[in-house]
Chain A
Amino acid sequence: MSRIRVLVGTRKGAFILTADGRRQQWEVNGPLFAGWEMYHLKGSPVAPERLYASQTSGWFGQQVQRSDDGGKTWEQVDNKFHYEGVPGTHQWYDGTQHPWEFKRIWHLEPSLTDPDTVYAGAEDAALFKSQDGGKSWQELSGLRNAKGHLWQPGAGGMCVHTVLLDPSNPSRVFVAISAAGVFRTDDAGQTWQAANRGLKSPYELPDPDAEVGHCVHRIAMHRSRPGVLFMQKHWDVMRSDNAGDSWSEISGNLPSDFGFPIDVHAHEPETIYVVPIKSDSEHFPPDGKLRVYRSRAGGNEWEALTEGLPQKDCYVNVLRDAMAVDALDPCGVYFGTTGGQVYASADNGDTWSAIVRDLPAVLSVEVQTLP
């Protein structure tokens, strides 16, 4: 029987949750790296025992950890993230230009084919790549040439938080940056184009249709259709059917189109999940009801999934990297909250239960489906 391993990053350490394929009985291991902010952990798709973890601290800076035994033991790898060349400047809060400064790694994306190749999304926004298992990092600096001087930090910082690798085209990578937007390379990271046509940000930007500057919270794709992208923006849920060349809104009947995560069902490319949040300042579910919304039509028509989730007095948030799906059938869906709960559904989202309820605030959730 398959096994499931859920990798949870929190404000004060990492946790590894494991279960068999029934996904009923869970073992909770952790905290690993107790006391550190664990922004993200992710396993290699081709060598699932190889895990990468971003470990960071306001006191002691950035570390990257690597495991080759599924998280039982860890090895500290390189933590030097140098911006290539003269780093230059980006837009600052007061309208002036501000030098690029490395702060932390938000997201680690292992290669689809090589366990030693991994991408790292950084704040201040940049994409780094390692081809030696994290022992050294090189910036793909062409990304910052895509009008980087116009990017600006949102309230959460200016970070590369999403990296999507195209399974059908190793030269194509998408990244999403807060607050800059979506960018795509078709030449393995040498050059990048903004991919934000159709996004509208009337409350955040003086030009609602600006080429860059949109606060994209998350993008997702299904492996079988890498040209179809789904997006949770600051406000608005969007989709693109042409690899980001243009976007259209699919918020439909959602109670709020603000939110952070978005994900795609493992076997149904038109089934997507979001967690509506009341507003940009009220980071909690509308009406105190924690509801995942599912669309089985690729957007516009959404249904609330509530069974097993708190339906009163719930004021947690679900952050952008804190939702994931497994590869079993029926598909498992998982998300973590800022209140420390990790919820799981073993039936496509129809019903939910908490694997664990009292962790530190959850920053990220990734799921591995193991043989």
Chain B
Amino acid sequence: MIRVVLPYHLRTLARVDGEVELEVEGPPSLRSVLDALEARYPSLCGTIREHGTLQRRPFVRFFACKEDLSHEPPDALLPAAITTGAEPFMIVGAMAGG
């Protein structure tokens, strides 16, 4: 069970409250978790990753276990604590000042 924390605006789009729990086959990676998330909530397609290229949108960040995984390759495996559900995988809107 993978726990995913979405930012407020994406929770609104997906019409969910609180964390999302996902089942992912095999060792979870950024790609497989995001694939599972978009399959469950198609309204999130294009909001975290670009359509087509599936590249992370510039102002979206991926945090887990106090680490920034945003620049990790898509197939990098997530930490064990994410895999077990002990820690959540966090999708975050980047800081924007002004």
Contacts and interface: CB of A to CB of B under 8 A. Distances in A.
A60 B91 CA distance: 11
A62 B9 contact: no
B52 A82 contact: yes
Contact of A60 (B9, B51, B52, B96): B9
Interface string B25-44: 00000000000000000010
A79 B46 CA distance: 7
Chain A interface residue number, banded: 10 to 19
A80 interface: yes
Contacts, number: 39
B13 A76 contact: yes
B14 to A, nearest CB: 10
Contacts of A57: 9
Contacts of B7: 59
A61 interface: yes
A63 interface: yes
Contacts of A59: 7, 9, 57, 59-60, 93-94, 96
Interface string B54-95: 000101100000000000000000000000000000000110
B51 to A, nearest CB: 5
Chain B interface residue number, banded: 10 to 19
A76 B44 CA distance: 10
Contacts of B94: 59
A79 B10 CA distance: 14
Interface string A74-89: 0010011010000000
B9 to A, nearest CB: 6
A127 to B, nearest CB: 19
Contacts of A80: 45-46, 51
Q: Which of A58, A60, A62, A76 has the most CB of B within 10 A?
A: A60
Interface in A37-80: 57-63, 76, 79-80
A111 B48 CA distance: 31
Contacts of A58: 59, 96
14 contacts: A35-B8, A35-B9, A58-B96, A59-B9, A59-B60, A59-B96, A60-B48, A60-B93, A61-B47, A62-B46, A76-B43, A79-B45, A79-B46, A79-B51
Given A57-B9, A59-B60, A62-B46, 17 more contacts: A35-B9, A36-B9, A59-B7, A59-B9, A59-B93, A59-B94, A59-B96, A60-B9, A60-B57, A61-B50, A61-B57, A63-B13, A76-B13, A76-B43, A79-B45, A79-B46, A82-B51
